[in-house]
Amino acid sequence: EGSSREDEPLLADKELQAVNMLVDLFERRATVSFYEGEPLQALSTLAYSDTYHLQLSAATAFSEISEMDTRPVTREALEPILYLLQSAHIDVQHGASAALGNLAVNVENKLLIVRMGGLEPLIRQMLSPNIDAQINSVGCITNLATAEENKMRIAKSGALLPLTRLARSRDLRVQRNAAGALLNMTHSAEHRQQLIGAGAVPVLVELLGEDDPELQYYATTALSNIAVDDSGRQLLWDTQPGLIDALVRFVDASTIKVQCQAILTLRNLASDDQYQLQIVAHGGLDSLLPLLQS
């Protein structure tokens, strides 16, 4: 009997050529454009291979390349990355989502990723129990959600419920990314209503009790946006009786951006008579007056 080793398949000639080419190209990566021409063809050959370690090499390469080069890319460059994102192997998914997150700092790439169907596999990764998968997928969606065109698609994609859940994660990196994504979805009245429907308000108020200044900033900023709307203020009044106490404590916060956003939230809430009375009753005026004299 022959001794075939299925876990280490022989590489096809095309795959071997692609590997050798990429080894050479990576030695002079600073002068190579990997998003077009022969370099992209070589990466695509590895990405579409049936061999796990070649797919992993392609995903890792895309991740490393995109850390240095976030230029606008074509559909042809995104296709192999989106293909790798749907791999059965979590470490391949991890490299692909890292690459997308890096590329999504560019406005044109943000739009193209969503137009090409990138949201669905990213949401699947968000639902994974793997922390690294959660960090990368949520971080990517946070970047995608800064583009106005993407926000409605994100809201309709089913992403808001898992984002809200992950804002309660025990991993700070996941929490920060999820809270940042929720914040990015609070910049229009329509999206604020969708966030409210996804149960984000009590989670944002909970985040005010966290020790991390970044989480405090994301939460206070998101709540100040929600408090712009009459319906948002009424919801906060009806369901969050401890909100004013939490915000008044932040008036003396050592982190300036948290302090500023807490004061802005109080200002927006004070559009309603009931909140004006509550802010004074809970010591808000006493905390704010010294700032006028500083």
Question: Which pLDDT belongs to residue 294?
Answer: 66
**C-alpha to C-alpha distance for 62 and 245, rounded to whole angstroms:** 47
- CB count within 10 Å of CB 9 equals 15
Question: Which pLDDT belongs to residue 10?
Answer: 61
Residues 6+ apart with CB under 8 A from 3: none
* Predicted TM-score (pTM) of this structure: 0.86
**C-alpha to C-alpha distance for 251 and 79, rounded to whole angstroms:** 48
DSSP state of 29: G
φ, ψ at 96 (rounded to 5°):
-65, -40
What is the full per-residue pLDDT of the chain (294 aa) written as tens digits?
Answer: 344 434 545 678 899 999 999 999 998 888 899 999 999 999 999 999 999 999 999 999 999 999 999 999 999 999 999 999 999 999 999 999 999 999 999 999 999 999 999 999 999 999 999 999 999 999 999 999 999 999 999 999 999 999 999 999 999 999 999 999 999 999 999 999 999 999 999 999 999 999 999 999 999 999 999 999 999 999 999 999 999 999 999 998 889 999 999 999 999 999 999 999 999 999 888 888 788 776
Dihedral over alpha carbons 137, 113, 88, 5 (to 10 degrees): -120
**C-alpha to C-alpha distance for 123 and 174, rounded to whole angstroms:** 14
| CB burial string 269-290: b at 16+ within 10 A, e below | bbebeebeebbeebebeebbee
Mutual angle of helices 213-226 and 256-269, in 10-degree steps: 20
Structure-token pair, residue 73: 């890319």
Residues 6+ apart with CB under 8 A from 149: 111, 114
Q: Side chain identity at 277, as an amino acid letter?
A: L
Structure-token pair, residue 260: 């500023």
Question: Which pLDDT belongs to residue 5?
Answer: 38
Instruction: Give the CA distances from residue 37 to residues 41, 42, 63, 77, 248, in Å, rounded to whole numbers and listed in that order.
Output: 6, 9, 18, 10, 58
Place of tokens 């419920």: 161
Q: Side chain identity at 273, as an amino acid letter?
A: D
Are 84 and 96 contacting, i.e. CB atoms less than 8 angstroms apart?
yes
